[in-house]
Amino acid sequence: MNKIPVGIIGVSGYTGLELIKILLNHPVFEINYVANSQGEQYLCDIHPALKGVFDLKIQKANPKEASKKCSLVFLALPHKNAMSFAKELLACGVKVVDLSADYRLEQKNYESHYATLHTDTQNLSKAVYGLVEYTREKIKKASLVANPGCYPTATLLGLIPFLPYLENSSIFVDAKSGVSGAGKQLTQNTHYPTINENIFSYSPFQHRHQIEIEEKCAILGNKPVKVNFVPHLVPFTQGMLVSIFATLKQTIDPLEILKKCYENEAFIRIRDIPADVHSVRGSNFCDIFAKCRGKDIYINTAIDNLLRGASSQGVVNANLMCHLDENLSIPKIG
């Protein structure tokens, strides 16, 4: 099979490194272009683990140059930055998997929670939300896929199967993420003396991923809901654990519903005991557990925030966009 040249713009962060690790083992995708805002370095200068393994020179990000070398580009950029790159790449006929928030939300929700003005509304209307289990057929036809956020991925995969059975009452989501979810930039919250042997919530009821969860429940699950979302930072590097609490209309067998919903999904595992972070770390799996007490339901999911919540999910989307086996080179174990 002919190689497909791909690039990564925003290669300096944790998700950029994870993308490289996956793509280096991919039998079809070939990394031809890596870039960040500065360029003029080699990958091992930023990611020492790649020394002697893959040491491509990093370019200063330029969408026109990327389009000359790539058929598909992964954008691992902050929100507001990605849309200008995506717009130029798409105009040059290059497919884009965007790992930022720039194309995940409807315009009104994006402009209310991320930026006052979306500068690429034409492509925003064409973007496909890349939650594979629910948008697979659309992804296959897409030129632009918006990779879901890590918190929404873990929450939606657990919540959507139960939406038809839920009362029209508030849903509460307690989510815990490893420190890598905050990115490489040092902050007071991620400073070692703050996070070590500590756990705390941040942005309760105000986190930007709350609107993403609500919007996608309405679109993918066909049920508008009110979600009260509270994220927490916990003192490990990688992984995410989500607990969802809701009220049912009737008594159900939650594990049977999950098994039926995901019976043909390679990277969803239904657990008989609560999910845990160690079991999914380094993989694309989402583990899901659920239990009822009368009409109260508890749903529990675990993912690797850097992989299923970002990079490996992005490669699954790219595989589908390029009409390859969707699970080609996707990690099953760390």
Position 211 scores a pLDDT of: 97
CA distance 334 to 327: 16
pLDDT of residue 334: 72
Under a CB-based contact definition with an 8 Å cutoff, are residues 331 and 23 in contact?
no
Q: Which two tokens stand for residue 85?
A: 């790159």
Q: What is the CA radius of gyration of the chain?
A: 19
Provide the pLDDT for residue 8: 98
Which residues are registered as beta bridge partners of 176?
A: 232, 241
The whole-angstrom separation of Cα 137 and Cα 135 is 6
- Give one DSSP letter per residue of 127-154, joined into a string: -EE--HHHHHHHHHT-SEEEPPPHHHHH
Whether residue 172 contacts residue 246, with contact meaning beta carbons closer than 8 Å, is answered with yes
CATH number for the domain running over 151-303 = 3.30.360.10
Tell me the H-state helices in 147-303: 150-159, 192-195, 209-220, 254-261
pLDDT value of position 188:
84
Q: Which fold has domain 4-147+310-321?
A: Rossmann fold (3.40.50)
pLDDT of residue 333: 87
Q: Could you tell me the strand order of the sheet in which 72-75 lies? A: 41-42, 57-60, 29-36, 4-9, 72-75, 95-98, 144-146, 128-129
User: 128 forms bridges with which residues in the sheet?
Assistant: 145
Say how many Å lie between the first and final Cα of the chain, rounded: 27
User: Residues 150, 217, 261, 286: which is the catalytic one?
Assistant: 150
Helices (H) and strands (E) in the chain, counts: 12, 15
Q: How far apart are CA 202 and CA 64, in angstroms?
A: 39
pLDDT string in tens for the chain (334-residue length): 799 999 999 999 999 999 999 999 999 999 999 999 999 899 999 999 999 999 899 999 999 999 999 999 999 999 999 999 999 999 999 999 999 999 999 999 999 999 889 999 999 999 999 999 999 999 999 999 999 999 999 999 999 999 999 999 999 999 999 999 877 777 888 888 888 899 999 999 999 999 999 999 999 999 999 999 999 999 999 999 999 999 999 999 999 999 999 999 999 999 999 999 999 999 999 999 999 999 999 999 999 999 999 999 999 999 999 999 999 999 998 7
261 counts as catalytic: no
Give CA 268 to chain center in angstroms.
15
H helices present in the chain, as ranges: 14-24, 43-46, 63-69, 82-91, 107-113, 121-124, 132-140, 150-159, 192-195, 209-220, 254-261, 311-321
Specify the 3-state DSSP secondary structure of 256: helix
CB count, 10 Å around CB of 209? Answer: 24
Domain boundary assignment for the chain: 4-147+310-321, 151-303
Phi, psi of 99 (to 5 degrees): -90, 0
Tell me the residue type at 83: M
Give the side-chain half-sphere CA count within 13 A for 138: 14
Q: Give yes or no for a contact between 22 and 311, defined as CB atoms under 8 angstroms apart.
A: yes
Query: pLDDT value at position 202?
Result: 94
